[in-house]
Amino acid sequence: MRAAVYHGARDIRIQNPPMPVPGPGELLLEVRSSGICGTDALEWDGGPILTPLDQRHPVSGHQGPIILGHEFGGRVVDLGPAVDGFATGDLVACVAGISCGACEACRAGTSNFCDRYFTLGIDAHGGLARYVVAASAACLEVGRLGLDDDGAALVQPMSVALHALRQGRLRPGDTAVVLGVGGVGAFLAYAAAQLGADVLAVDLDPARLAVAEALGVSAALRADPGASPAPGVLGHVGSAVSVVYEVTGAPAALAAALDMVRPRGRVVQVGLGADPVSIDMRRITLREIRLVGTRAQVFEADFADAASLIASRPEGWSDVAPIALPLDQLVSDGLLPMAKGRPERIKTLIDPWATAIRPASGARAGSIDRSSHRPLERVIAE
């Protein structure tokens, strides 16, 4: 089968590794769409950072060249022994993060801190391939929501955004600012707007701000590369902000977030830069600001809701994810522009079966069965 195999910095080869075989509790998926994000770009550009190329991963057991791809869905084509609740032909989205279900963290509902956590596409073979094996406990059937292949690939990044959204304890009617309309920021802005918050999106790029407006934000503010967006945000909102989601990872953006959040408000640091950041602790202590982190998602809490959110947009997601690239163009049109900080689109999808760029479909309007949706307010609120 064809797959994008990571061998080290700037070395991804399109190769033909053997078909994977599903073990107990696992599904074999045929992948038609697989997303990439900054994690992949960083690994390709400057890795190995996360992947176990040189030493065996203590849980997954993987060592050596690895198939990337942690944002994927696929059709079930085979089932390993002891799989319940799935059938051949099902369209599933995969969370990629694999947890044991038995340790203290898992039992406490925080499987993202599982003792035996590992991620497909980072610590074990992932979905930038025609076929992937995934634990059925990490998969959700999404065909019943009306999602198609490209929509299924968007559920994992939406779940990351939704988990981050929840760390802000945002409520309907609150004012939220999203700094950075990238792959996670766009989904976060959409989810916050669906919750009924008043969302202000900030980015350097007018094209991304136009997408943010289409995603339902109340206002889109263009930031100036050399200056803090805080005065502009405060001028626009008229008072300080309940929750700021900092999705850029730029050191100056965190300082700006602390300047615009109200006393006792929350700043959720979603974006990650490589270097430590210096912050004025007086700002946090004397205004009782909550500065909180967020890590991946919790499958049980976030994943079905994320799928509902992807299914809830009648016009689909072709503005966020307009095309799917063939594997041959993964580096040239996907990872390279992203590593240079100049991605052409908010979310890039890869179709391991395509021989040329094809338009992405997203979740098509009209194909969605709305009767199976839960009301979004209940879906999002803690």
- DSSP conformation letters of 3-20: EEEEEETTEEEEE-PPPP
Q: What angle do the packed helices 183-195 and 206-214 form, to 10 degrees?
A: 30
CA atoms within a 13 Å half-sphere pointing along the CA-CB vector of 309: 34
What is the distance of C-alpha 325 from the center of its chain?
Answer: 18
> Binding residue for Zn ion (CB under 5 A) from 41, 68, 76, 106?
106
Q: Give the binding range for Zn ion (CB under 5 A) out of 33-41, 217-225, 254-262, 318-326.
A: 33-41
Residues in the chain: 382
- Residue 59 touching Zn ion (CB under 5 A): no
Residue 104: CB minimum distance to Zn ion, A: 8
- Residue 294 touching Zn ion (CB under 5 A): no
Size of the site for Zn ion (CB under 5 A): 7
- Residue 50 touching Zn ion (CB under 5 A): no
Q: Restricting to residues 156-215, which ones interact with Zn ion according to CB under 5 A?
A: none
Token digits of residue 282: 């007086």
Q: Give the binding range for Zn ion (CB under 5 A) out of 17-25, 92-100, 332-340, 351-359.
A: 92-100
User: In this structure, are residues 72 and 31 in contact, taking their beta carbons and an 8 Å threshold?
Assistant: yes
> Binding residue for Zn ion (CB under 5 A) from 31, 76, 83, 114?
114
- Residue 99 touching Zn ion (CB under 5 A): yes
Residue 375: CB minimum distance to Zn ion, A: 28
- What are the CA-CA distances from residue 182 to residues 22, 36, 271 (Å)? 34, 12, 10
- Residue 94 touching Zn ion (CB under 5 A): no
Nearer to Zn ion, 144 or 340 (CB): 340
- Residue 37 touching Zn ion (CB under 5 A): yes
> Binding residue for Zn ion (CB under 5 A) from 42, 50, 100, 252?
100
Q: How many CB atoms lie within 10 A of CB 355?
A: 9
> Binding residue for Zn ion (CB under 5 A) from 9, 53, 103, 381?
103
Nearer to Zn ion, 69 or 316 (CB): 69
Nearer to Zn ion, 100 or 234 (CB): 100
User: In DSSP terms, which residues pair with 94 in a beta bridge?
Assistant: 72, 139
Helical H segments across the chain, by residue range: 38-46, 104-107, 149-153, 155-167, 183-195, 206-214, 230-237, 251-260, 281-286, 304-311, 336-339, 376-380
Residues that bind Zn ion in the complex, under the rule CB under 5 A: 37, 39, 99-100, 103, 106, 114
